[in-house]
Structure 1
Amino acid sequence: MNLRAFIKLSRIEHGVLTSLIVVASYIIAGGRSAIAMALLFLASLLTEIFLFATNDIFNVEEDRVNRPDAPIVSGEVSIREAWALSLLSVVIAVLLNVLGIAMRYLMDWSIVILALAIFLGFFYNYGLKRVIIVNNVLVAITSSLTFLYGLYAVSSIPPTLNLPYLLFIVSFLATMGRELVKGALDVAGDARAGVKTMANVYGIRTAVIMAVAFTLLAVAVSPLIIISSRGFPGIILSIGVVITDAMLLYISIVVLTRPNYMSRFRTLALGAMSITIIAYLLFALLLIL
């Protein structure tokens, strides 16, 4: 497997961003150990590689229609190579977390969050992606657990409601909206592979309306983040949330009136969420400076 094929299969850029979010939550929760940050970063990155690789392994039929340039479909990576990469990644990820707990750099609850992300993500890839609504919920939970992983690495008991929890809730709602639109865009490939989505069972219009509803719920909850991050450097996170909300409101209105806007909705929704994520990372960085 060459480097180009590895990057395409593992979607390593997503893994790096996910790992940075985990480290940010760790810092915001009060963690300051550089070793703990390194362990969390690597465990998160390797878990993402595992999930993306197994997704491609079990997603070949859909990818033949929706992603013909996917590395397994195009022949750049064999199934055997993909399995080797995914299994090696997840084993090392778990071992790093266990090592961190044994050395008391990470709290016990961190392995619970990591295991939850691994199992939910894997069983989504294995077959639950074909179950209507369950598929969207699993993606939204798994991707949003990044905000909790670093948080639970600091606390020996489940923490009370705070910024990472609020980001988890908003991320879950916004991701649900984005995933529903993704299903509307991938109707042909999903139907061919037996994947049931709101779009191919109840119609594209229904899926879009539900997507907008979840997106607007995310916007409605987001002011709690602003309330919880008052003062400096919290103002940076608040500005990021306001910009994100404005973008999400705009694309929600437009997608209801322009059916051909779904592709842009999906792209701009990710861009909007990225603004809050960047602000979250800057917030964490300023806390340690």
Structure 2
Amino acid sequence: MSPISDAMVNNIKAYSDLFRVENSLTGLVGVVIGAVVVNGIDFTLGDVMIVSFFGLSVMFFMFSWNAYNDITDIENDRLNRPDRPLPSGKISSDSAMIGLIIAMVFSIIFLLAGLWKLSSEGEGDSILSSGIIWAAAILLLILYEGVSGIKGLKHSGLIGNFCIAVAIGMDVLFGASGLGSPTDHRVLALAGMAVSFSLAREVIKDIEDIHGDFDRVTFPKKVGIENARSVAWVLTLLALVLLFTPFLVGIFPLHHILFVAPGGFLLMLVKSKLFLEEDRAAQYLIKRALQISMVGVIVSACLVG
């Protein structure tokens, strides 16, 4: 491979890390799940366009937000994650800001395209609910980060973690709103599941970053690392309960519980990682458990039709 090709590959990898492409794709999948759960596989071309536009809007918004997070947390990352693109010098702050702006522009374009498609089909209620959910998610993230010198909820411990988790759970609602069913009981069950997974993971991530988070009072700093690990395990158990409950109470077919069982198995492994103080491995297991469970729910929804 030529030096130019090597440089290009390294640059692509650096931006992939900046945008956290894998996590952002999970947001897109969350939108698709919300749509599939309420509609099965009976999609019109218009439905596909709406869900695609909304999913891409979420993905590019997450690109933008992840870049913003790295820009604002660069000093923390010099201690916690010196290998990240900004502290390592792989990407400059100015380049990251340009990437942030471009990603946000694409997010808004895809959002407007989805709303336009809803309008062309006379779905006024869906336009309203979709707009409200999108705006609410942005508001939560702004409250988390803070603006104009006002400290955000990321300085307030567990409530900040909950704020991020709820914003993530809204992906599912957003996907369902495009098809007019954001309050469907199946969608709400899935959103609750996503929130619980994400909350447990956010607490563990704060444990992992405790020594570098010098400018904020995170939950582990308030209660101590071991107490935070105990709470994280309780939240993981809650995620496990919320993963299986929709199948046990008939929201989804009981025998389809097998499709999410692998995700539940991964959640059970989290305790051992927390006990061994392997916090990064623990939060990675939760992320994988959520991704696998999302695939299981998609399979279940497609089979139900």
With structure 1 as the length reference, what TM-score do the two structures score?
0.86
Is residue 283 of structure 2 the alignment partner of residue 266 of structure 1?
Answer: yes
| 1:46-65 correspondence to structure 2 within 5 Å | 46-65=60-79
Contact 1:121 1:138 (8 Å CA) reproduced = yes
Residues 80 and 250 of structure 1: is their aligned pair in 2 closer, same or farther, counting only changes over 3 Å? closer
Q: Which sections of structure 1, spanning at least 5 residues, go unmatched? A: none
Q: Describe the superposition over 1:13-71 as per-residue Cα deviations: whole angstroms up to 9, x where unpaired.
A: 22222212211211222272221122122111111111111111111111001110111
Question: Per-residue deviation at 1:250?
Answer: 4.1
The amino acid of 1:7's aligned partner reads S
Question: Per-residue deviation at 1:81?
Answer: 2.0
Residues 53 and 219 of structure 1: is their aligned pair in 2 closer, same or farther, counting only changes over 3 Å? same
Residues 171 and 198 of structure 1: is their aligned pair in 2 closer, same or farther, counting only changes over 3 Å? same
Q: Distance in 1 between matches of 2:301 and 2:134?
A: 21
Which of these residues, 102, 126, 138, is aligned with residue 163 of structure 2? Answer: 138
Show the counterpart of 2:179. Answer: 154
How many residues in Structure 1 have an aligned counterpart in Structure 2?
A: 278
| 1:1-289 correspondence to structure 2 within 5 Å | 2-30=11-39, 32=43, 33-104=47-118, 107-108=126-127, 109-126=129-146, 127-155=152-180, 158-160=182-184, 162-190=185-213, 192=214, 194-226=215-247, 227-230=250-253, 235-236=255-256, 238-252=257-271, 254=272, 258-286=275-303
Question: Per-residue deviation at 1:207?
Answer: 0.4
Q: Which sections of structure 2, spanning at least 5 residues, go unmatched? A: 1-7, 147-151
The amino acid of 1:55's aligned partner reads N
Q: Distance in 1 between matches of 2:304 and 2:91?
A: 42
Contact 2:86 2:92 (8 Å CA) reproduced = yes
Contact 1:10 1:53 (8 Å CA) reproduced = yes
Question: Per-residue deviation at 1:284?
Answer: 4.4
The amino acid of 1:5's aligned partner reads A
Contact 1:21 1:281 (8 Å CA) reproduced = no
The amino acid of 2:263's aligned partner reads T
**Secondary structure, in 3 states, of the residue corresponding to 2:157?**
coil
Residues 268 and 180 of structure 1: is their aligned pair in 2 closer, same or farther, counting only changes over 3 Å? same
How much is the aligned-residue C-alpha RMSD, in angstroms?
A: 2.4
Question: Per-residue deviation at 1:168?
Answer: 1.1
Residues 70 and 102 of structure 1: is their aligned pair in 2 closer, same or farther, counting only changes over 3 Å? same
Q: Distance in 1 between matches of 2:279 and 2:110?
A: 40
Question: Per-residue deviation at 1:72?
Answer: 1.4
Identity %: 24
Q: Describe the superposition over 1:50-101 as per-residue Cα deviations: whole angstroms up to 9, x where unpaired.
A: 1111111111111001110111112222222222222232233223222322
The amino acid of 1:185's aligned partner reads E
The amino acid of 1:130's aligned partner reads H
